[in-house]
Chains A and B, each alone.
Chain A
């Protein structure tokens, strides 16, 4: 039995009421899932909210769980959907904030927590050059790269999670790798650099 099958078995045990099985799953996936969300959403507060949302969804729907894919595929599909919802909400918030800013009557619009400049800068200060390059990737390419790095899943599984054809997922990953290698080339030539961003 490989690791994926063990995880599916653990989830089935949790479905049937074994809380210890959930603890084992959580210990195994909390790191990869948190980092995927953190580096995908690029904000620690948002990542924590989404992280809680993903596990809460899994707990709430455990009774209906049927193993149709690897557990990692199942878990990160939930995470992908939560992240997509967040990006949609975020886009609407940005539009709302922008609309307020153009209103001359409102001199100090209320900015959402995750969009506050100090929060954004706090996250950016902790980044290395590689993570800054990952940040700079388009959203879909960044997600494909993070899924591959954090879960080790195949391109087919990544396509399944992101609900796109395999060729699309492959193309996204290819572009991501190309851009990351290209942006890291100066660093490899001159030694590692730490990127600092000042607010």
Chain B
């Protein structure tokens, strides 16, 4: 079988002592020109004399790694805990709302008497004393509407 033969040849060759390898080693062994040797060795010595750059130093690698980890962690925390991450709650909430009765519209002041609260109260009192209680009550409501903060004396 040709494949098996080729494999056998390869195994024999890889064993290191094949006739092919022996023949190759008998060939002349050219070397690079001496001028090239000098040039490369000079370049290597010049490079070795160069001071090592601090920023290129391998010693900075752990520091760079730590900085990367720190920044990554900070970014993750910013994303997870940042204000933009707070989502609105979808659940229904019970909200207490304090309702206030709207203030009744203030009564329109139609006469000069009504511009003077004391005179208006005196008029209401006269209505009450004249037996016109309903009218007195109506006027009193209008008075309250027109002057809600007016302090009415106790005797009135």
- B interface secondary structure, majority: helix
B135 within 8 A of A: no
How many contacting A-B pairs (Cβ < 8 A)?
87
Q: With A34-B30, A38-B30, A177-B13 given, is the CB distance from A59 to B43 under 8 Å?
A: yes
Q: Which of A22, A34, A56, A130 contacts B31 (CB 8 A)?
A: A34
Number of interface residues of B (CB under 8 A): 36
Are B52 and A63 in contact, with the CB atoms below 8 A? yes
What B residues does A130 contact at CB under 8 A? 23-24, 27
Are A31 and B31 in contact, with the CB atoms below 8 A? yes
Are A22 and B9 in contact, with the CB atoms below 8 A? no
- A interface secondary structure, majority: helix
Q: Which of B32, B47, B52 contacts A48 (CB 8 A)?
A: B32
Q: Which residues of A contact B (CB under 8 A)?
A: 14, 17-19, 22-23, 26, 30-31, 34-35, 38, 48, 51-52, 55-56, 59-60, 62-63, 126, 128, 130-131, 149, 152, 155, 170, 173-175, 177-178, 180-181, 184, 188
Please name 28 pairs of A and B residues whose Cβ atoms are closer than 8 Å in the assembled complex, sorted by A: A17-B49, A17-B52, A19-B44, A19-B45, A19-B49, A22-B45, A22-B48, A30-B37, A31-B31, A34-B31, A35-B29, A35-B30, A51-B36, A52-B39, A52-B40, A55-B40, A55-B43, A56-B40, A59-B40, A59-B43, A149-B21, A152-B16, A174-B6, A174-B10, A175-B6, A177-B9, A177-B20, A188-B19
